[in-house]
Structure 1
Amino acid sequence: MNDMATTIDPAPDVPAAGAPVEAHPVEAHDPPFPVRTTLMGTIGSVLLLLGALGAGGILIRDPIIGTGPLSWVRYGHGHILANGVLYAGFGLVVWAWVRLGRYMLAGRIGSRAILIASGCWMAPLLIAPPLFTRDVFSYLGQGAQLLHGLNPYTHGPAELEILPNVVQNVHPVWQTTPAPYGPLFLLVAKGVVALTGDNVIAGVIVTRLVLLLGLGAMVWALPRLVRHLGGKLPITLWLAVASPMTVIHLFGGPHNDAMMLGFLCTGVLAVLERKHVLSIVLVTVAMLIKPTAAIALPFLVWIWCNHLPGDNRVRNFLKAGLASSAIFGVVFVLGTWVSLGSFNLGWVTGLKAPQLVTNWLNPATGVGQVIYTLVHFVINVPESPFVTVARLLSWLALAVFFVRQWWKSRYGGNEAIFRLAMTLLAAAILAPPTLPWYLTWGFVIASAFPWRRRHLAIVVGVSILLVMAYYPTGEQALYDWWFVVLTLVLGVYAAASLLRPDPLGLIAAWRKQTVPDFVSSPPTPAKR
């Protein structure tokens, strides 16, 4: 496991990976609570809510604002103002998250404060229009198809003649494309539409409430994963729960990755606790929600194999592999049948649909576009061959990476979980398309390992880029180069702020006038 330290490594005061439970004693007292920081993030979320009414994923026909006296927030100067309010809210949420991280690193707050702050930041977004995406409208459209007997894996929502409010809000790119999601998630979306009908606003809110179950399972599993994987719980919760990637993308979006992660985290926990059958069941269910969770299954086989008694590794591997395959087959067939009413594998072909998205956030696509641009200066050629070849090479690189990581996991234990997480991250980056919220797949698992402070700072900068990679409306912003440069500058400043408060001295003048952030006695100075 020597190469683990190159990415995630214990700080001087963090136990090594695999440390026993006793290495992480329960806090004997409750640390002071950061009221002002929590309030700052909550105000930011309220501003996100208000700004999204004019600049977020708004409805084509809004029954609340519509053409009424507030409709001005969606046009001209009103729309500019709404964007300003929304980005101001995002800035406050990020600022509060960074402040919370500094308190956490200094040992001034514990996991309880981080969870409460996260809940406060998510609460206003429950009723907000979709933020930085319109995917939830696709969920509802595909659920409506299944509800009314139209196969989402062979037809696009545009072919559904009823529920016009649901259908017309699906993004034009996905109106005629098959669903790329697992059948169990479409069953969930079907249930949401059965409850809310053609009321899209209610559909979005109910979808968020359902996805909260996945976030809840993730929050339940993370403390137990930390005990196995050697991390520190406050750091893990700050990374995986309080992050803008979770608060804004997974919940504010919302995205069904939150539900998949709930089953994935509990499945990984189950295999570490030697509940092997339950682990395969849970991760197979995660795959039936979001197919990429299937990447985790071969790694779980190695862990099961190493838990079996005896020294015959080949026999143990065959036992674990055959048992895992049988369990997977039963759950896969049953889950598909229950969801679709038949054993229909048409959803596998739907996985091609997201590849319609092209942007440089996927490195292969970016390389293909750069080469095309250079060649296009000399000769008039189409872009698609360059992107296609680059993506093919990226797929091959991912396959090699996957096999290598899987083989290196053959001794099981924490190393297998680490390599599982890295492979999920690699899939999000190398397999087209790379959408910002995809990076949560492996990142949430990786958050339970030990982290170095400078790596936490990198996470801050990357998180800001991944949220702002799309405009609040859900359209990508990656080719607005001035906007990208501004985002990078802000990301670097925020990353530096985690390790050193106010690195440029921009708010030093306010410092003497601010009130203490904590409700108890004044906190001790942060450790450097």
Structure 2
Amino acid sequence: MATTTDPAQTPSTGLAERLRVPSRFPYRTIAMGTVGSTLLMIAALGAGGILIKDPVLGHGPLSWVRYGHGRMLANAVLYTGFGLVVWAWVRLGRYVLAGRIGSRPILVAAGCWMAPLLVSPPLFTRDVFSYLGQGAQLLYGLDPYANGPAELDVLPNVVQNVHPLWQTTPAPYGPLFLLISKGVVATTGDNMILGVILMRVVLLAGLAGTLWALPRLVKHLGGKLPVALWLAVASPMMVIHLFGGPHNDLMMLAFLTIGVLAALERKHVVAVVLVTIGMLIKPTAAIALPFLVWMWANHLTGESKVRNFLRAGAASVGLFLPVFVAGTWISLGSLNMGWWSGLKAPQLIANWLNIPTGIGEVFYNLVHLIVDVQVSPFVTVARAAGMLLLIGFGVRQWWLARGGGTEAVYRAGISLLAVAILMPPTLPWYLTWGFVLLSAFKWQPRHLALVVAVSVFVTLVYYPTGEQALYDWWFIAGVVVASLYSAASLLRPDPLGIIDAWRRPEKFLRDQSSR
């Protein structure tokens, strides 16, 4: 007979004991995350990436939520909602580790947690406003790779909501994504609320593609599907950042994962074409292309490995060039290569989340105690050293991938992570580039706990408005504590015994005195 005890209420037992508890659908855990996501959506009206002129609240009776104490209350509700989503995700992870749920509850949970965010203001970012602004430039015959959205003299709502940093900055995205943005703006015009919602709907196609690829990747790469889905689809980085943001990385990942799958299944022409299309959405996908060459070369017959590599390399370049040229021409109406210069734009962002930048800032502060100097030379030198390290690391990973197969996929995944960490800037959602691919491999529980800590940390280091919180040191200290506690909770529910002390104080005190 099935127990009526919620699985998450027996966490003080070991994993072996938990495995003996009958499985059940985690309704309460999914409901907890859904309540949290709903709170995120409601609170974002006052504390998220709100519009300059808000047609929902505006100057009406609820406008107080955007100012003063109302804004403080909205932030409190938003972080409460975030905490509930993370708590639910960690509980779901414990069920996964114990082998007590399959893929279906995870998909249901991710869907329920994303649903309220479909109509939410942007969370922890304002990038979607830039997407719409750059799409509007293309729609009205302007070059988004030459100037920023500030040059537009139409669609005032679109223009004024672009972040000041990106008002005059060329677009750093691939031309195919700008074509998609153009289509969204052509449909929604100057209505920013509909623009954000439609952008999320369009990007859901990317999520669908990743969901299609993951089960098949898991079969090739030796992982477990519930773990992969929990990591790649139900995590705060996916639910809150990539979808709640939203971010175009969601669509790029679909082409990347399906392309890698095609390579594993010996469909190498399809693989190169798909990953090249992913690059035309976000250039980061190009990191995987050299690894696809090794995979192709190892599937060729012939005694000479060098000849096989040259054949695979020539074929890959022969496919890449026409797809790249055609994609650029179709998107922009010309072979406008100005989008390569636009890739420099994100480097304007400088903070210590990017490790080389952080090292440069540390050295600057040490020297600044003695001599009055500028920070820029220190950051520039550290970033240059970081790029050299990244190049060396990437070349080594590529060489280690020469055996092709699953090893090449693994090396591509960690190379994508290295790019996110070492190449400026490092933005929280960039880590999904590598995590989504690596999620299909086998994971140890302690490594999953590390992912929990990283996921919570990188989501919280930006304020809900999209502005960085990285130099608010007391706030960051709280973020670190929350991240570590969340990670510990995956392996041992209630690691500090707080809930046990509240529920059964006599037992808690007795256990403490016996230590």
Q: TM-score range by the shorter chain?
A: over 0.9
Measured in 2, the distance between the counterparts of 1:508 and 1:97 equals 21
Identity %: 71
Q: How far apart, CA to CA, are the structure 2 residues paired with 1:181 and 1:399? A: 22
Q: Secondary structure at the match of 1:433?
A: coil
Letter in 2 for 1:338: I
Counterpart for residue 522 of structure 1? none
Give the structure 2 partner of residue 355 of structure 1.
347
What's 2:469 paired with?
477
Alignment deviations for residues 114-153 of structure 1 (CA, whole Å, 9 cap, x no partner)? 0000000000000000000000000000000000001000
For 1:185, the equivalent position in structure 2 comes to 177
Are residue 299 (structure 1) and residue 307 (structure 2) matched?
A: no
Partner of 2:368: 376
Within a 5 Å distance, the mapping from 1:87-166 to structure 2 comes to 87-166=79-158
- Displacement of 1:508 in angstroms is 2.3
Q: How many residue pairs end up in the alignment?
A: 485
Backbone CA RMSD of aligned residues: 1.3
* CA apart distance, 1:314: 1.2
1:283 match: 275
For residues 164 and 366 of structure 1, the distance between their equivalents in structure 2, rounded to whole angstroms, comes to 37
Amino acid at match of 1:225: L
Report SS of the residue matched to 1:133: coil
Choose the corresponding residue for 2:163, options 165, 168, 171: 171
Q: Which residue number corresponds to residue 460 of structure 2? A: 468
SS for the counterpart of 1:297 is: helix
AA at the equivalent of 2:379: V
- Matched to 1:136, the amino acid is V
Question: Which residue, 372, 379, 393 being the options, matches 1:401?
Answer: 393
Whole-Å separation in 1 of the counterparts to 2:262 and 2:439: 17
The match for 1:233 among 225, 229, 235 is 225
Which amino acid in 2 is paired with 1:421?
A: G
Aligned partners of 1:184 and 1:336 also within 8 Å = yes
Alpha-carbon distance between aligned partners in 2 of 1:507 and 1:368, rounded to the nearest angstrom:
43
Distance 1:508 1:57 in 2: 38
Deviations 1:30-83 (A, max 9, x none): 952100000000000000001100000000001111111110000010000000
**Separation (CA, whole Å) in 2 of partners of 1:350 and 1:490:** 36
Structure 1 Cα separation of the partners of residues 399 and 73 of structure 2 = 54
The residue type paired with residue 176 of structure 1 is T
CA distance in 2: counterparts of 1:463 and 1:147, whole angstroms: 36
Task: Find the aligned partners of 2:42 and 2:224 in 1 and give their Cα distance.
Answer: 35
Map of 1:25 onto structure 2: none
Gaps of 5+ in 2: 1-14, 17-21, 505-515
Residue correspondence of structure 1 range 317-466 to structure 2 within 5 A: 317-466=309-458
1:196 pairs with 2:188: yes
Equivalent position SS for 2:498: coil
TM-score in terms of structure 1 length:
0.91
1:416-448, Cα deviation, whole Å (9 max, x unpaired): 100000100000000000000001001100010
TM-score (norm 2): 0.93
Greater mean alpha carbon deviation, residues 500-509 or residues 263-272: 500-509
C-alpha distance in 2 between matches for 1:406 and 1:458: 25
Task: Tell me what 2:242 maps to.
Answer: 250
CA distance in 1, matches of 2:501, 2:370: 55
Structure 1 residue ranges without an equivalent (≥5): 1-11, 14-29, 513-528
SS in 2 for 1:255: coil
Q: Deviations over 1:129-184 (max 9, x none)?
A: 00000000000000000000010000110000000000100000000000000000
Extract structure 1 runs of 4+ deviating beyond 3 A.
509-512
Higher relative contact order (CA 8 A, sep 6+): 1
Encode CA deviations 1:73-97: one digit per residue, 9 max, x unaligned. Answer: 0001000000000000000000000
Q: Tell me how far apart the structure 1 counterparts of residues 243 and 397 of structure 2 sit (CA, whole Å).
A: 31
What are the superposed Cα offsets for residues 270-322 of structure 1, whole Å, 9 maximum, x if unpaired?
00000000000000000000001101000000000000011211111111101
Aligned twin of 1:263: 255
Aligned partner of 2:495: which letter? Answer: P
Whole-angstrom distance in 2 between the partners of 1:59 and 1:509: 45
Letter in 2 for 1:190: K
SS in 1 for 2:302: coil
Other-structure match for 1:32: 24
Check if 1:68 corresponds to 2:60.
yes
Measured at CA, do residues 428 and 95 of structure 1 come closer, stay the same or move farther in structure 2, by a change above 3 Å?
same
Q: Tell me what 1:45 maps to.
A: 37
Q: State the distance in 1 between where 2:312 and 2:418 align.
A: 26
Aligned mates of 1:41, 1:209 — CA distance in 2 = 21
d(CA) in 2 for partners of 1:504, 1:410: 46
Q: What letter matches 2:151 in structure 1? A: E
Give the residue type in structure 2 aligned to 1:181. Answer: Y
C-alpha separation between the residues in 1 aligned to 2:97 and 2:359?
38
Letter in 2 for 1:144: A
> CA contact under 8 A between 1:31 and 1:110: conserved in structure 2?
no
Provide the C-alpha distance between the structure 1 equivalents of 2:90 and 2:350, rounded to a whole number of angstroms: 31
1:374 shift after superposition: 0.9
SS at match of 1:107: coil
SS at match of 1:307: coil
Partner of 2:198: 206
Distance 1:209 1:415 in 2: 34
Could you give the per-residue CA deviations for residues 435-469 of structure 1, whole angstroms, max 9, x where no partner exists? 00001001100010000000001111111110001
Alpha-carbon distance between aligned partners in 2 of 1:411 and 1:93, rounded to the nearest angstrom: 41
In 1, the alpha carbon distance for the partners of 2:99 and 2:438 equals 21
Using the TM superposition, give the Cα deviation of residue 505 of structure 1 relative to its aligned residue in structure 2, in angstroms: 1.6
The letter for the 1-side match of 2:82 is: F
Instruction: For 2:32, give the aligned amino acid.
Output: M
By how many angstroms is 1:391 displaced? Answer: 0.3
Give per-residue Cα distances to partners, 1:162-212, cap 9 Å, x unaligned. 000001000000000000000000000000000000000000000000110
**Equivalent AA in structure 2 for residue 420 of structure 1:** A
